[in-house]
Amino acid sequence: MSKILIIGLNGSPNKNGNTAFMLRTALQACSDMGAETELIHCREALTGLKNKFCINCETTCTAKCARGKPLEKAFELLSKADGLIIGSPVYFGTVSGHLKAFWDKTRLLRSNKRLLNVPGGALAVGAARFGGQETTIRAIHDLMLAQGMLVVGDGYWENDCGHQGAAAQRPADQDENGLERTVILARRVAQVAQATRDLRLR
């Protein structure tokens, strides 16, 4: 595999929690396949902003709120992504506020088509086995679709990452099934990223 860049986006406020553990597991699987990897923590990327939530201050977004802030560096990194794996803990059956706040501010990336045709996989961690993981994963898919990304889900029968993505129950480091599916999802994202790299605007 020639070098591609796979980025993990941690929607958890905890940079060393269950979601981050799953994302690091996923990125290690991508690295083992020869990809370069980076991990972005939404909470850190949103620090220093006057308004952490998008207030639609510009009719054509220039991301002026991000200039000179960690968010600007996060956007620069995302603009180079060949693949993206987004993770979130389950908050009332959907994504965390940190992830939603971060993604709402990616309007400039959408205008510039920086994530167009970038394959993306989703993973989620819940407190219970059936604790809203799949609805959270579907919400992440909606975020991806609005950017024109290529949503990666289930593979072949022998390559099953879960119909929508990887779901785990906390503590994630003890959920063998969730971690196995996380690795499968990561490999599929890397494979699709490699196969589609000529479709992206660079």
Collect all residues with Cβ–Cβ distance below 8 Å to 21 and sequence separation of at least 6.
172, 173
Segments forming the whole domain that contains residue 21: 5-199
Residue 142's domain is classified under what CATH number?
Answer: 3.40.50.360
Number of folded domains that form the chain: 1
User: What are the tens digits of pLDDT across the range 95-132?
Assistant: 999 999 999 999 999 999 999 999 999 999 999 999 99
User: What are the tens digits of pLDDT across the range 14-32?
Assistant: 999 999 999 999 999 999 9
45 by Cβ neighbours in 10 Å (0-12 / 13-18 / 19+) ranks as buried
The residue with tokens 């919400």 is 139
Amino acid 118 reads V
Question: What is the Cα–Cα distance from 193 to 184, expressed in whole angstroms?
Answer: 14
pTM: 0.95
